[in-house]
């Protein structure tokens, strides 16, 4: 039951697969009130939502009618950034799981949060296991010379490598404090076989039906390897992290990038 103390939440990208999971999760929480589902798809063309909630195709209409405290966004950077400009100006806080953000865009979003004295959380992955994998990879990095990061996703994912894979690579680079050693073959009959190069970290992407989200980090040094892997089996795995971020962002200021920043541990050193 809604009370005056509940966090009022709108979902942007509500007609998407993750958006629908967010609707279910928010609606089930005792301290939250789901006030709006927002998507660019007109309601007549949208799939049936899993819960009863007012549906809007125009962001400003949703904010005016629903008066959300927080907007949870699972779209893409192209749609997310214009939404953020409007929402932050209206005093709405953000929890963003959209992918494809550039460093310049994140800097701009941070400036918007500061300008409007508001807050946002942007995370490439809200699955707590994936966040822990990223953290552990940064801890391991100083003790190994070589590393490959491999990720597998469904065929409809728009970016490669995934934002999570890049987050893992950045954590490894920061944890090591320098570049890894990257072996390159004398001959390469098929160009690009060693994957993308991020500071000596080889990053590989796979896209095909039958997969959802999988990330693996394999470290190597003389006589041994160490493998860390996280598998996502359904979209419910993101919900504990999303709900945590919605609660935490109410007491935050400025932009926070990465779910690990609001957990009990900080980024790996």
Can 157 be counted among the known catalytic residues? yes
Q: 41: helix, coil or strand?
A: coil
Catalytic residue among 67, 116, 157, 248: 157
Q: How many CB atoms lie within 10 A of CB 146?
A: 16
Catalytic residue among 12, 153, 173, 215: 153
**Which CA distances in Å does 30 have to 7, 33, 121?**
10, 8, 22
Counting Cα atoms < 13 Å in the Cβ hemisphere of 4 gives 0
Can 248 be counted among the known catalytic residues? no
Residues 6+ apart with CB under 8 A from 107: none
CA 222, CA 224: separation in Å to the nearest integer? 6
CB 49 within 8 Å of CB 20:
yes
CB 176 within 8 Å of CB 142:
yes
The two tokens of residue 45 are 């063309």
**Cis peptide bond upstream of 161, omega within 30:** yes
- Which residues form the catalytic set? 153, 157
């Amino acid at each position: 039951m809604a009370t005056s103390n509940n966090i009022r939440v709108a979902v942007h990208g509500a007609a998407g697969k993750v958006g629908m999971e967010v609707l279910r999760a928010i609606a089930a929480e005792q301290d939250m009130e789901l006030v709006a589902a927002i998507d660019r798809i007109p309601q007549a063309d949208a799939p049936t939502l899993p819960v009863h909630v007012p549906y809007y195709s125009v962001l400003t209409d949703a904010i005016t009618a629903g008066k959300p405290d927080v907007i949870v966004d699972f779209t893409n950077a192209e749609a997310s950034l214009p939404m953020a400009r409007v929402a932050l100006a209206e005093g709405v806080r953000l929890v963003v799981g959209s992918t494809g953000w550039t460093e310049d865009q994140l800097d701009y979003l941070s400036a918007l949060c500061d300008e409007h004295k508001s807050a946002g959380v942007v995370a490439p992955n809200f699955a707590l296991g994936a966040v822990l994998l990223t953290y552990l990879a940064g801890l391991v990095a100083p003790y190994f010379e070589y590393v490959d990061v491999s990720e597998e996703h469904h065929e409809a994912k728009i970016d490669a490598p995934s934002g999570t894979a890049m987050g893992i690579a950045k954590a490894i680079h920061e944890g090591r404090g320098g570049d890894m050693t990257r072996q390159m073959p004398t001959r390469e009959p098929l160009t690009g076989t060693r994957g993308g190069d991020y500071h000596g970290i080889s990053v590989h992407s796979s896209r095909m039906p039958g997969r959802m989200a999988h990330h693996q980090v394999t470290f190597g040094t003389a006589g041994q390897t160490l493998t860390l892997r996280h598998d996502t089996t359904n979209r419910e795995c993101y919900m504990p992290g999303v709900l945590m971020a919605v609660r935490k962002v109410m007491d935050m200021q400025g932009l926070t990038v990465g779910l690990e920043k609001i957990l009990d541990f900080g980024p790996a050193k």
